[in-house]
Amino acid sequence: MIPFDRIKAFYLYHLPEATLRNQRIYADCPFCNQKKNGAKAKLIVHANPDSYFRGYFHCSQRCVNGGFHFHFAQLLNLSQEKVPGYDSEDEGYIVDVQYPTKNLQTDIDQFISLIGEEQHGFLEEYGISEDTLKQMRIGFNGRYLVFPYYQDNDLVYAARCVFPGRDEDFFWHGNETFSKGELAVFNAQEINRCQGGALFVTHGELNLLILKELGYPGIAVPSVQDLVHIAPERLKRINHIFLLTSNLPQTRMAARQLAVQLGFKARILTWPSDVGRGDHLSQVVYDEPKEIKKKLASMISRSQSFSPFESSEKEQRRLMDLFEKEKGKNILGLETGFGKLDGALDGLRGITILGGPPKAGKSCFFMQISTEVARRKVPVIYYDFENGRQKIYLRTLVRLSSLPEKRIRKSQYGDDEANTLKQAWAELDSMLRYFRVVTDRELTPEIMLRHIEFIKHETRNDDVLVVIDSLHKLPFKDLKERRTGIDSWLRQFESIRDNQQVSFLVISELSRGKEGGYNETPDLSSFKESGDIEYSADNAMILTPSWDPFSPTTSQQRQSTLWVVASRENSPGKVAEYKLDFPYWRFKEM
């Protein structure tokens, strides 16, 4: 990074009449002849060497767009070779686009002329002045505010039209090619103006207008999801990039995805604790117009260069929190309600995968464990692709009441059984706050992560059990990708396990043996399309029935053996025998 003394000397050399006071350079603006009250417009350069925005200049009458020293030289028609920090090998970044002949300049001029008192009044509530609107060329089409998306060639081909106060009500005007991807960057020309300096990146045009009013350079994308479309190479000439999103975990995650690409230049700004969940700059300005400048300056000063690594303080605190949470526990993981299983695994932790032949009772076994965990007020998200939500709830009610499903449906029970059923209903009702069944066939890892964050927030509990019934029924793009899709989902489970500290129970199918059956000795190779199961599973178990699951008779004793076939921390071997108590949809540990 170029020493600021060289940059300051560069400004003073080309502004010979300049004065320096209060860590700012003041000079008559060389770019305009405007006068205000008989005095020429002033060019002001930030000269605080400790500021991230040192070297940023602007005209007091806004005759030109502000920027840093490279932009200053360009406006003066100076050779770039004379600018401090010039790199002869830097070819810059060129957006790969064929600009059309037709543009929206005439339309934008007309829209600007339609802005009236009502629109000015709305924007003034967010502290945005008429000068800023003129500089940014904001218009109005009679119903919507019009935000022109100028390109690097200084022309506009698309504009986003947003209804005042309703961000979700918008449409694009103009060439749709320029309404998506890396071309949909609001105030994109600012990137070149900020070479060698600092830049804000945010989402929402209104938030950018507020930043411009406060004197900060910046760009915006229409929504936080569009941050991923910003090409990191496009920002390579900028020294400091401040990412400002709304106060939500998912928006910070979107900023983090961009920051990973930008590296240490990126700084993700963190809102103070008194800012409401989901609020962005516009809401904070609306609520506290006099505090925003100080609050934003504080966020900038507290910001740190992005690092993909957790801080040592955070890692230590997380480890201490883990020890504190597990203090006094008999088992380290979640209790299943089965004593021998808890003893074999030391409770549910990490990713536990259960395999078994079809109709062996895997779903029934997991339903029982899941509801037992939920009865202990630990939140459970049950992703079901096998049975259906109502069947899971009904079988849980049968198990709690010890009444067969047919008798419940037909109301065939005595007074004592009616009281028992009433108690079971009450217990199920209490449990459902912690037991959520999801049957979304469009499930993605991102949606799963949102579910986990939500149930943690709703139950005020950081322990979560995620159940997958089953691995081979998870959504894939097409059947040809099932093998790679399963491995991809397992990788996602690992990431969620590590980042969210949740436990997984996952049902997997088994492969048929040489004779077409499932009678071989259970081991890791028994899992169907096992792929990465042996690497991802903290515990791999197999449930083998000693009865024929396909037999129509019910006189046989339905007993199964549970085996641990692989474990990171526990010894493999037989766990216990389990008897299926039919028709109550429950297993009893023998």
Considering the domain architecture, whether residues 417 and 536 belong to the same structural domain is answered as yes
- Beta-carbon contacts of 504 under 8 Å, excluding residues fewer than 6 positions away, are 350, 351, 352, 465, 466, 467, 468, 493, 496, 497
Predicted pLDDT at 441: 87
Considering the domain architecture, whether residues 179 and 40 belong to the same structural domain is answered as no
Considering the domain architecture, whether residues 59 and 116 belong to the same structural domain is answered as no
Considering the domain architecture, whether residues 298 and 387 belong to the same structural domain is answered as no
Predicted pLDDT at 514: 59
Residue 567 sits in a domain whose CATH number is 3.40.50.300
Residue 21 sits in a domain whose CATH number is 3.90.580.10
Considering the domain architecture, whether residues 243 and 360 belong to the same structural domain is answered as no
321 in a domain, yes or no?
no
Are 563 and 547 contacting, i.e. CB atoms less than 8 angstroms apart?
Answer: no
Are 268 and 259 contacting, i.e. CB atoms less than 8 angstroms apart?
Answer: yes
Tokens for 138?
A: 């904001």
Q: Each residue's pLDDT tens digit in the chain (590 positions)? A: 789 999 999 999 999 999 999 999 999 999 986 555 556 799 999 999 999 999 999 999 999 999 999 999 999 999 989 999 999 888 888 888 999 999 999 999 999 999 999 999 999 999 999 999 999 999 999 999 999 999 999 999 999 999 999 999 999 999 999 999 999 999 999 999 999 999 999 999 999 999 999 999 999 999 999 999 999 999 999 999 999 999 998 899 999 999 999 999 999 999 999 999 999 999 999 999 999 999 999 999 999 999 877 777 777 887 887 777 777 778 888 999 999 999 999 999 999 999 888 888 889 999 999 999 999 999 999 999 988 899 999 999 999 998 988 888 888 788 888 898 999 999 999 999 999 999 988 899 989 999 999 999 999 998 999 999 988 888 876 545 667 788 888 899 999 998 888 999 999 888 776 555 555 667 777 776 656 677 888 999 999 888 766 665 544 578 889 999 888 988 899 999 999 888 888 999 98
Domain closes at, from 302, 322, 357: 302
Does the predicted model carry a pTM greater than 0.75?
no
Q: Is 427 exposed, middle or buried (0-12, 13-18, 19+ CB in 10 A)?
A: middle
DSSP H stretches of helix in 413-562: 415-431, 445-459, 482-500, 533-536
Q: What region does 271 belong to: left with phi over 0, alpha with psi -120 to 50, or beta?
A: beta
Considering the domain architecture, whether residues 515 and 440 belong to the same structural domain is answered as yes
Considering the domain architecture, whether residues 70 and 184 belong to the same structural domain is answered as no
71 in a domain, yes or no?
yes
Considering the domain architecture, whether residues 68 and 207 belong to the same structural domain is answered as no
Give the closest residue to 365 by CA, choosing from 550, 573, 542: 542
Distance CA 280, CA 247 (A): 6
Considering the domain architecture, whether residues 276 and 409 belong to the same structural domain is answered as no
| String of DSSP letters for 32-56 | ---EETTEEPEEEEE--TTSTTTT-
Considering the domain architecture, whether residues 64 and 173 belong to the same structural domain is answered as no
176 in a domain, yes or no?
yes
Considering the domain architecture, whether residues 479 and 513 belong to the same structural domain is answered as yes
313 in a domain, yes or no?
no
Considering the domain architecture, whether residues 532 and 490 belong to the same structural domain is answered as yes
526 in a domain, yes or no?
yes
Distance CA 443, CA 452 (A): 13
554 in a domain, yes or no?
yes
Question: Can you say how many angstroms the Cα of residue 225 is from the centroid of all Cα atoms in its chain?
Answer: 9
Distance CA 494, CA 491 (A): 5
Domain, as residue range, for 235: 105-302
Instruction: Specify the residue for token string 């940014």.
Output: 136
DSSP 22: T
Q: Is 576 exposed, middle or buried (0-12, 13-18, 19+ CB in 10 A)?
A: middle
Predicted pLDDT at 330: 80
Q: What total of structural domains would you count in the chain?
A: 3
Are 345 and 567 contacting, i.e. CB atoms less than 8 angstroms apart?
Answer: yes
360 in a domain, yes or no?
yes
135 in a domain, yes or no?
yes
DSSP 80: G
Contacts 24+ apart (CB under 8 A), 421-424: 421/397, 424/397, 424/400
